Amino acid sequence: MKNQDCDRLIDYLEDRLSTEEKKEFETHLQTCTDCQEVIELMGDLPYLSEPAEPSEGMKSRVLGAVFEEEHRPAATERVVTKRKKRNWMGLSLAAVLFVSLLGNIYALTWLTEGTEEAVALEEIGLEPNGSFTGNAAVSIVKGTNEELTLTVEATELEPLQGDAIYQVWLIADGEPMPAGYLSPDSTGTGVALFTLGQELDAWDTVAITREPQYGNKLPEGDIVLSAPL
């Protein structure tokens, strides 16, 4: 699910899109099997004004993967570099998978498809800026195809008003690049994923801002959480 149109799936399910944007996304939906599958997994709900209860079959598959991960021996070649790791946020794949079931569609789809051999290379806690009270951490995960994925897991995010959204950025030499969105549930929990390819050294910072609307190419809001990579 890397198509730019797929980025609107969560906003479509939560009825955040304008009438024109809905029409554009529904045109995309007619030919995108990834988005169709996610909507089917969510119970064919046109919009998610409240969190949807996953089906029993879906729960069994996801929780089964969690228990399997908890009992799987550690990889013999696991290499972990940790900076500013917080005890409150152990980003094992099982934990991310569980949070994904509760709150984030992208993470649920990605983590239930072919991540059995994924290895967490790095786990970093983000530092809050000023009086912001939310928490977040990132995990750099390497899949079987050597592709790196940035997973951002946040808790206790402050509620948003109107069209506001939390946006993730990767920064290199002061130049930001959009790297996903956090659409927190009623408890302030959210997960975002971004594919890094096979190159991590190009980025020096990950940050989360509170933006006035979806789709910004450059940040307008203030940074609320950040950490060096």
All structural domains of the chain, each given as residue ranges with its CATH number in brackets, are 6-43 (no CATH), 120-228 (2.60.40)
Check if the beta carbon of residue 121 is closer than 8 Å to that of residue 140. yes
Rounded to an integer, what distance in angstroms lies between the CA atom of residue 185 and that of residue 177? 25
Rounded to an integer, the average pLDDT of 10-14 is 71
CB neighbour list of residue 187: distance below 8 Å, 6 or more residues apart: 155, 156
Specify the amino acid at residue 195: T
pTM for the predicted model, two decimal places: 0.53
In the predicted model, what is the mean pLDDT of the chain? Answer: 71
Mean pLDDT of 62-76: 46
How far, CA to CA in Å, does 164 sit from each of 137, 183, 184, 213, 220?
Answer: 21, 10, 11, 5, 11
Tens digit of each residue's pLDDT (9 = 90 or more) over 29-65: 888 877 777 766 555 444 443 444 444 554 454 445 4
The pair of three-digit structure tokens given for residue 45, joined into one six-digit string: 């709900």
Query: Of residues 195 and 106, which shows the higher confidence score?
Result: 195
Handedness of CA 56, 98, 151, 135 (dihedral sign): positive
What whole-number distance in Å separates Cα of residue 174 and Cα of residue 181? 20
Query: Confidence band (pLDDT; 50, 70, 90) for 183?
Result: confident
